[in-house]
């Protein structure tokens, strides 16, 4: 069980208010991702839930119990840190067993749980090694192992994959998602990478300057972003924004069109422009188009087969049904 409720939580460091009053509920078994640019307060929010930082005001409840001033050790949460934070002087076995030893479990139970976690995470062959003798991915697995043996109410992940190389990151992302499906335990995951957020989350919480900009499922955020910030942050490549007369025609201050919602053609279209850079990914091609008279650069995502080159004059046609409209304050117009 792990339902976490934040009520009017604030955090101040001296005079600086990092988290203005904030309400948030994370349901039991949910995979919630806090995402936002660096310095948006997502890690601070996670540390408040963990108890590693004290809230300045407001309440935190875990499973209906007020945990606002409960020390981290007593909250029943497990955390995986960005730097792994393994104990360098202990073997992998002792690292994983540490929380159980602190909980004063008997040795037989500790062994059982450690071996169980090790086999789930493919660490059985490494139990007697020190963290220093492991690769980045293995260290991350040990950190996860140390978290799962406790059978916590919820897992907290603080950018756990940002120290891994790209290929490993995709693999670990999948492993964590599978772990969540199997354990069905609440997970809160902090990242600045919107791809991680989109692929893993049941619920995404987009943060900016300590404020929650929007909460919703990945597709809700993709299809109906509440404001320009969320629209620009979710989705890759980034949404194109057009202001001025073109936007006014749609009755908006700004309109947003995702790169995948613009069709390209050699001969005809609503707008035209010149290809600046064409990025061929094989499956897709990203065109960065200039001189459209709309915005400085328009990004278009086309099929991998489309073969325009630098300097080609091309025509663009947006899909009218998925154009996002925003008012002067940047808020979505329904």
Partner 1 sequence: MARAVTSRRKTINTALAWGVGLIIFFPILWTILTSFKTEGDAIAYPPKFLFFDWTLENYSVVQERSDYMRYLWNSVIIAGGSTLLGIIIAVPAAWSMAFVPSKRTKDILMWMLSTKMLPAVGVLYPIYLMFIKLGLLDTRIGLVIVLMLINLPIIVWMLYTYFKEIPGEILEAARMDGATLKEEILHVLTPMAVPGIASTILLNVILAWNEAFWTLNLTAAKAGPLTAFIASYSSPEGLFYAKLSAASTMAIAPILILGWFSQKQLVRGLTFGAVK
Which residues would be at the binding site for partner 1 (CB under 8 A)? 50, 52, 71-74, 77-79, 81-83, 85-89, 98-99, 102-103, 146, 150
Q: Which residues, 6+ apart, have CB-to-CB distance to 107 below 8 Å?
A: none
CB of 181 to partner 1, least distance (A): 24
Cis amide leading into 237 (omega within 30): yes
User: Least distance (Å) from partner 1 to the CB of residue 138?
Assistant: 17
- CA dist 245 and 288 (Å) reads 22
Kindly state the smallest distance separating residue 39's Cβ from partner 1, in Å.
Answer: 18
**To which H or E segment does residue 145 belong?**
helix 136-148
CB of 99 to partner 1, least distance (A): 4
Nearer to partner 1, 88 or 311 (CB): 88
Please give the backbone phi and psi of residue 133, each rounded to the nearest 5 degrees, phi first. -95, 10
Beta-strand ranges (E) seen in 227-291 are: 240-243, 254-257, 262-265, 271-280, 284-290
Q: How far apart are CA 134 and CA 139, in angstroms?
A: 6
- Closer CB to partner 1, residue 110 or residue 242? 110
- ∠ CA 119-138-155, nearest 5°, is 75
φ/ψ (deg, to 5) at 123: -115, 0
Nearer to partner 1 among residue 84 and residue 326 (C-beta): 84
Q: How far apart are CA 78 and CA 81, in angstroms?
A: 10
Q: How far is the CB of 34 from partner 1 (least distance, A)?
A: 17
Spatial distance between the Cα atoms of 327 and 6, rounded to a whole number of angstroms: 31
Nearer to partner 1, 114 or 247 (CB): 114
Closer by beta carbon to partner 1, 159 or else 213 = 159
- Least Cβ distance, residue 74 to partner 1 (angstroms): 8
Rank residues 16 and 328 by Cβ distance to partner 1 and give the closer one.
16
Starting from the edge strand earliest in sequence, which strands make up the sheet with 284-290, in order? Answer: 262-265, 313-318, 271-280, 284-290, 298-303
| Cα-based distances in Å from 20 to 62, 70, 208 | 21, 21, 11
Q: How far is the CB of 20 from partner 1 (least distance, A)?
A: 24
Q: Which is nearer to partner 1, 35 or 50 (CB)?
A: 50
């Amino acid at each position: 069980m792990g339902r976490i409720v934040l009520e009017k939580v604030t955090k101040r460091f001296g005079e600086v208010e990092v988290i203005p009053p904030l309400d948030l509920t994370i349901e039991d078994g949910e995979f919630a991702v806090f995402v936002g640019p660096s310095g948006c307060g997502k890690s601070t929010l996670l540390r408040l839930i963990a108890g590693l930082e004290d809230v300045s005001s407001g309440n935190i409840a875990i499973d209906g119990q007020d945990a606002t001033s409960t020390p981290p050790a007593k909250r029943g949460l497990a955390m995986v840190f960005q730097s792994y934070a393994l104990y360098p002087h202990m073997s992998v076995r002792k690292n994983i067993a540490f929380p159980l030893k602190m909980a004063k479990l008997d040795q037989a139970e500790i062994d059982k749980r450690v071996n169980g976690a090790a086999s789930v995470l493919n660490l059985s062959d490494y139990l007697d090694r020190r963290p220093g003798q492991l690769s980045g991915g293995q260290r991350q697995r040990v950190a996860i192992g140390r978290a799962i043996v406790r059978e916590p109410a919820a897992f907290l992940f603080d950018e756990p994959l940002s120290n891994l190389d790209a290929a490993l990151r995709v693999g670990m992302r999948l492993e964590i998602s599978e772990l969540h499906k199997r354990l069905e335990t609440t997970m809160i995951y902090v990242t600045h990478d919107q791809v991680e957020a989109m692929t893993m989350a049941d619920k995404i919480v987009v943060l900016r300057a300590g404020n929650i900009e929007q909460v919703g499922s990945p597709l809700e955020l993709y299809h109906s972003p509440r404001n320009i910030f969320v629209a620009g942050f979710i989705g890759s490549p980034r949404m194109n924004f057009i202001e001025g007369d073109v936007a006014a025609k749609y009755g908006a201050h700004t309109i947003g069109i995702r790169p995948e919602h613009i069709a390209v053609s050699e001969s005809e279209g609503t707008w035209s422009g010149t290809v600046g850079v064409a990025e061929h990914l094989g499956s897709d091609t990203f065109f960065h188009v200039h001189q459209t008279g709309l915005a400085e650069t328009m990004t278009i995502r086309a099929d991998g087969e489309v073969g325009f080159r630098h300097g080609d004059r091309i025509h663009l046609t947006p899909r009218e049904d998925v154009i996002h409209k925003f008012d002067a304050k940047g808020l979505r117009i329904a």
